[in-house]
Amino acid sequence: MSNKLSHILEIIVVFVLTVLATVLLRMYVLNNDVLLPQAASLQAWNPSAPSESIDWLFSVQWSLVAFFFSLIVVFMLYSLVRSAIKYGNQPDEEGSGEYFEGNTPLEIFWTAVPLIIVLILAYLGANTLAGVERRDVQALEVNIIASQWNWQFEYPEYGVTSADLVLPVDRQVVLNMRSEDVIHSFWVPEFRVKQDILPAANFDSDYARVLRVTPTEQGEFKLRCAELCGTQHYAMLAGVSVVSSKDFDSWVLESTGCDLSDAECGQRWATEYGCVACHSVDGTQIVGPTWLGLSGSGVTLADGSTVTADIEYLKTSILDPNAQLHEGFNPDIMPSNFSDRLSAEQIEQIIAFIQSVGE
Ligand code: CUA
């Protein structure tokens, strides 16, 4: 075989192997449910405008990555194997490389090609971002308050507060987010979008953050805090239910009032407002005193004095947590704004629940 022919054959072999490796790598990642969870929002996958969704952009970028990785690895392995077969351990004269210096056309080529690729990616990325952030005036508004280590969801349109995020399917939701303490992060992998939540006094603050999601799949998902925020960071989870608009309406109806007994309503508020994230009802000491057997017991305060945990003490502890600090617990851990967030009736019901715990 002539030298020229075998050279052309080699190029064909490298080309075919590169294409094969690219296709396999691309298929492996894009068809793998572990690497990429279900796409459950319009931002993740938009069937009517694929180029405006995150998964489309991911597949474009991944295809490029797979191609360049394959090109480099195939070329390198081919050269290694080929010279090992041809020369073994004794490179002869033909085996040592030819010396050459500079190659202007090649340098122009390898500068221009990446530049063009980067410009195309910038354009595609900007286009996808515009699609992902598109605003819908009909959006449902939900306020999210993150704190160590709890999520709280408020639906200002309906006057509902919830410990789980319940969303109607196929309707855009605008999530207004703020933190009570350190930085947290809103992340539901199936929605693809993610947003850090900064400490902010209210939702009009410059530090409040906004994220828009349009859930497209009904089902149960999990919200995870994606910013290391303290010892209980790993447990800062909340359920996300995406339901039909009919089920959403009945959930709102169910959540607006409480016609249970005082203690049962109190238990509901204690869950929805996150009290039980820090105060256990089974005797476990978390960051706040347990509620098990608290009511009526003698409590030693930080200043050494002792009080009885009666209704007055419990009420003061909810409204002004630092006033009579329980010995052994740190001040300023508990939010001091419950007088704004809870009605007088809700506070009475929470106290009724605390009294019912461990009676
Ligand atoms: Cu909140 Cu991690």
Q: Would you give per-residue pLDDT tens digits along the chain (359 residues)? A: 567 888 888 889 888 999 998 888 888 877 766 677 888 999 999 888 888 999 899 889 888 988 999 989 988 998 888 888 877 776 665 656 678 888 899 999 999 999 999 999 999 999 999 998 888 888 999 999 999 888 999 998 888 888 899 999 999 999 999 999 899 999 999 999 999 999 998 888 889 899 999 999 999 999 999 999 988 899 899 999 999 988 888 888 777 777 777 888 888 888 877 888 888 888 888 888 888 888 888 888 888 888 888 888 888 888 888 888 888 888 888 887 787 777 777 888 888 888 888 66
Neighbours of 118 (CB within 10 A): 10
Q: How far is CA 206 from CA 129, 184, 202, 212, in A?
A: 22, 16, 9, 17
**pLDDT of res. 340:** 72
Rounded Cα–Cα distance for residues 330 and 231 (Å): 15
Pairing of strands 160-162, 150-155: antiparallel
Tell me the CA–centroid distance for residue 282 and ligand 1, in Å. 24
Residue ranges lining ligand 1, Cβ < 6 Å: 149, 184, 225, 227-229, 233, 236
Residue closest by Cα to atom 1 of ligand 1: 184
Q: Is 31 exposed, middle or buried (0-12, 13-18, 19+ CB in 10 A)?
A: exposed
Helix (H) or strand (E) holding 114: helix 104-132
Q: Are 44 and 192 in contact (CB under 8 A)?
A: yes
Q: Are 138 and 170 in contact (CB under 8 A)?
A: no
CA 212 to chain centre: 13
Q: Which atom of ligand 1 is nearest to the CA of 184?
A: 1
* pLDDT of 3: 78
Q: Which long-range contacts (CB under 8 A, 24 or more apart) does 271-280 make?
A: 271/163, 272/152, 272/161, 272/162, 272/163, 273/152, 273/161, 273/338, 273/341, 273/342, 274/147, 274/150, 274/151, 274/152, 274/163, 275/350, 277/149, 277/150, 277/232, 278/150, 278/333, 278/334
CB 125 within 8 A of CB 57: yes
Tell me the three state secondary structure of residue 243: strand
Provide the pLDDT for residue 301: 87
Yes or no: say if 208 and 172 are a contact pair by the CB < 8 Å rule: no
If DSSP codes are grouped into helix, strand and coil, which group holds residue 117? helix
Q: Give pLDDT, residue 95.
A: 58
Task: Find the 309 Cα to ligand 1 centroid distance in Å.
Answer: 32
Amino acid 215: pLDDT: 94
Residue 159, phi then psi, degrees to nearest 5: 65, 30
How far apart CA 196 and CA 21 sit, in angstroms, is: 37
Q: Which of 137, 136, 135, 129 is nearest to 53 (CA)?
A: 129
Predicted local distance difference test score (pLDDT) of residue 137? 85
Backbone torsions φ then ψ of 283, nearest 5 degrees = 95, -10
Ligand 1 atom with the shortest distance to the CA of 228: 2
Helix or strand run (H / E) with residue 108: helix 104-132
Residues whose CB falls within 8 Å of the CB of residue 50, separated by 6 or more in sequence, listed in order: 56
CA of 229 to the centre of ligand 1 (A): 4
- Residue 188 CA, chain-centre distance (Å), reads 4
Distance 186 CA to ligand 1 centre (A): 9
Give me the residues paired with residue 210 across strands: 176
The pLDDT score that the predictor gives to residue 93 is 58
- Give every CB contact of residue 248 below 8 A, 6+ residues apart in sequence: 166, 167, 168
Q: Helix, strand, coil shares of the chain as percentages rounded to 5?
A: 45, 20, 40
CB 93 within 8 A of CB 52: no
Q: How much distance in Å is there from the Cα of 244 to the middle of ligand 1?
A: 29
Give the position, in ligand 1's atom list, of the atom nearest the Cα of 183: 1
Question: What is the spatial distance between Cα 54 and Cα 58, in angstroms, rounded to a whole number?
Answer: 6
Atom number in ligand 1 closest to CA 226: 2
Residue ranges of E strands in the chain: 140-147, 150-155, 160-162, 165-168, 173-179, 184-187, 194-197, 209-213, 219-225, 237-243, 298-300, 306-308
Q: Kind and range of the H or E element at 359?
A: none
